[in-house]
Amino acid sequence: MSDNKNEYVLKMENINKTFPGVKALSGARLELKYGEVLALCGENGAGKSTLMQILAGVFPPDKESGEIVYQGKPVQFKTPNEAKKAGIIMVYQELSLVKDLSVAENIFLGSLPMKGKHVDWKTLNQTTQKALDELGSPIRAQQIVSSMPIAYQQMVEIARGIALGAKVLILDEPTSSLTEKEKNSLFKIIRLLKSRGIGIIYISHKMDEIFEISDRVLVLRDGQPTGNFVTSEITLDDVIKSMIGRTLDNYYPKCQAKAGKEVLRVEKLTLSGIYKDVSFSIREREVVGFYGLVGAGRTEIMETLFGIRKPDSGDIYINGEKSRIASSLDALKNNMGFVTENRRGQGLVVDKSCLENVSLAMLPWIKKYGMVDNKKCLELYNEYHDKLRISSPGPEQRVGFLSGGNQQKVVIAKWLALNPKLLILDEPTRGIDVGSKAEIHKLIAQLAESGVAVIVISSEMPEIMGISNRIYTIAQGQITGEFSGLEITEENMMRAITITDSRKEA
Ligand SMILES: Nc1ncnc2c1ncn2[C@@H]1O[C@H](COP(=O)(O)OP(=O)(O)OP(=O)(O)O)[C@@H](O)[C@H]1O
Ligand SMILES: [Mg+2]
């Protein structure tokens, strides 16, 4: 492969795509060389996923479009399968493995090695194991997929792509559910594939990753190419400017107000096997961060506060009074809001409109008075549409048709519309572009300054350090540290989230 290092494996020219009411791409272009990592950047709704789905045969471009040239020949794949067979592999955020089958079966699904009439299990498992070992992966070929963490499942998808003879690998926001360590193993794999001449298209909103892994950066804005850079020759500001047309000065504004009276206190909350002896408190005008690895139990603790899980023991005090939160409705009555990390599961009704989704959390109250106040709902929608810069053709658009980041903004809008006194945000900026991220951070600070108590869960260290007044660290279901002011340092927090880990291993 090294002899064609400077050749293009892929060229897309003048690609257009119109959805009802939306021009998703106009004149988009992309060039990718063998053995190159191309970062694809742009605001939420800029057209990144659409461009890649056209390449991968999910849907066709508009008729009046230019060419797609792959390995020197014009192509237009009619189905994802056709693209896959030709060597164009797309790994989506929502992974597509068959959960009840083994890793090996998943990798060779549709082309299982046979011995006469029977599957040749030995060859199957050996070939798979070799492929996994080559990627430096600890996964065993016979493991059942459903028992594995997301990061491993993603690795299996990549291994499957390689086994299929991938020439182009597309990763659409691959690290959004990965820990730092998992991200590093993914990057190792990317470097390996690169050295084998595979062209990689890497979509991400995490700017540090883009600078770490990419050779070139392509920026889309409103479906048009606005930047095509060699990564080593540019700065973060160049990318941001090309993405949103201006630079950003303050990514992490902090709430500057003095904390008021206690809003919530939790004492020795325990849910067997999930979290143990969890005690913490939060006051008005305070942003409290919960930092820990994915899987540390952060989400489960917050779900308990919101009445989704029932603890075995422990007490919850709201405004100084011992309270029982048996359901989400109890939580709502106590003026609590909860932006969940899983927007498709708990956050949104994807086949309903943006308008309906924004008004969703208010329904118990709206129902109480017997009718839905459409005018009020529309006012709410418009208010948050502007505040969060939601990119949607209109209030009636189905949420499922919005880009990933814009769906997340609708979830946040839905909860803000309730005017909560305590707002819990679980990974609120996952999949959100840098510009909107800064807006959401600003909004969090403003909310706190206006009197709200805000709890933020995040796996992103710079984010949690930047916006929190106080931070609790969590590891394996236990609070391992509490930091404020100058104690909030990277080193302190890293140490605190690995404490129980080493204790357990020892
Ligand atoms: N199936 C669809 N029907 C209607 N509109 C769609 C559909 N798919 C995408 N769109 C619209 O096309 C535009 C581009 O969306 P796309 O998903 O490509 O954005 P993106 O750059 O991937 O954003 P994000 O960073 O949020 O994932 C958006 O305005 C989106 O709402
Ligand atoms: Mg996308």
- pLDDT at residue 93 in the model: 66
Average of per-residue pLDDT across 244-255: 82
What are the tokens at 458? Answer: 């995040």
Cβ of residue 49 lying under 6 Å from some atom of ligand 1: yes
Mean pLDDT over each residue of the chain, to the nearest integer: 89
Average of per-residue pLDDT across 72-76: 95
- pLDDT at residue 141 in the model: 93
- C-alpha torsion angle, residues 471, 473, 477, 480 (rounded to 10): -120
What is the residue with the minimal CA distance to atom 7 of ligand 1?
401
Buried residues in 168-190 as b, exposed as e (16+ CB within 10 A):
bbbbbbbbbbbbeebbebbbebb
What is the residue with the minimal CA distance to atom 2 of ligand 1?
401
CB-based contacts of 82, cutoff 8 Å, min separation 6: 57
Distance CA 468, CA 488 (A): 9
Closest CA to 42 of 32, 33, 52: 52
Q: What is the DSSP letter of 485?
A: G
Contact status, residue 405 vs residue 432, Cβ threshold 8 Å? yes
Same fold, 2-244 and 249-335+420-506: yes
Closest ligand, as measured to the CA of 21 = 1
Q: How far apart, in Å, are the Cα atoms of 78 and each of 29, 81, 223, 358?
A: 20, 8, 22, 36
What class has domain 2-244?
alpha beta
- pLDDT at residue 506 in the model: 35
Q: How far apart, in Å, are the Cα atoms of 421 and each of 63, 110, 338, 346?
A: 52, 54, 11, 21
Contact status, residue 471 vs residue 289, Cβ threshold 8 Å? yes
Cβ of residue 435 lying under 6 Å from some atom of ligand 1: no
Distance CA 331, CA 305 (A): 8
Contact status, residue 432 vs residue 205, Cβ threshold 8 Å? yes
pLDDT tens figures, 329-375:
899 889 999 988 766 556 788 888 888 888 877 766 655 566 677 78
Maximum Cα–Cα distance for the chain, whole Å? Answer: 76
Does domain 249-335+420-506 bear CATH number 3.50.50.60?
A: no
| Window from 142-156, 363-377, 419-433 with minimum mean pLDDT | 363-377
Helix (H) or strand (E) holding 39: strand 37-41
- pLDDT at residue 346 in the model: 60
Distance CA 446, CA 255 (A): 7
SS3 380: helix
Contact status, residue 61 vs residue 15, Cβ threshold 8 Å? yes
Residue 439's CB: how many other CB atoms inside 10 A? 18
Distance CA 342, CA 346 (A): 6
- Closest ligand 1 atom, residue 406 Cα: 26
Q: Ranked by mean pLDDT, which of 116-125, 172-181, 282-291 comes out on top?
A: 282-291
Whether the per-residue pLDDT at 461 is higher than 50: the answer is yes
Cβ of residue 50 lying under 6 Å from some atom of ligand 1: yes
Ligand 2 centroid to 288 CA: how many Å?
Answer: 30
Contact status, residue 18 vs residue 62, Cβ threshold 8 Å? yes
Cβ of residue 406 lying under 6 Å from some atom of ligand 1: yes
Ligand 2 centroid to 49 CA: how many Å?
Answer: 4
Ligand 2 centroid to 63 CA: how many Å?
Answer: 23
Domains of the chain by residue range: 2-244, 249-335+420-506, 345-419
Whether the per-residue pLDDT at 65 is higher than 90: the answer is yes
Distance CA 431, CA 409 (A): 10
Q: Which amino acid is residue 406, in one-letter code?
A: N
Ligand 2 centroid to 157 CA: how many Å?
Answer: 18
pTM value is 0.83
Q: How confident is the model at residue 147 (pLDDT cuts 50, 70, 90)?
A: confident
* Pocket perturbation via mutation, ligand 1, pick of 26, 51, 226, 403 by most ligand atoms within 8 A of CB: 403
Closest ligand, as measured to the CA of 43 = 1
Q: CA-based angle 321:484:501, to the nearest 5?
A: 90
* Pocket perturbation via mutation, ligand 1, pick of 49, 53, 172, 397 by most ligand atoms within 8 A of CB: 49
Contact status, residue 171 vs residue 181, Cβ threshold 8 Å? no
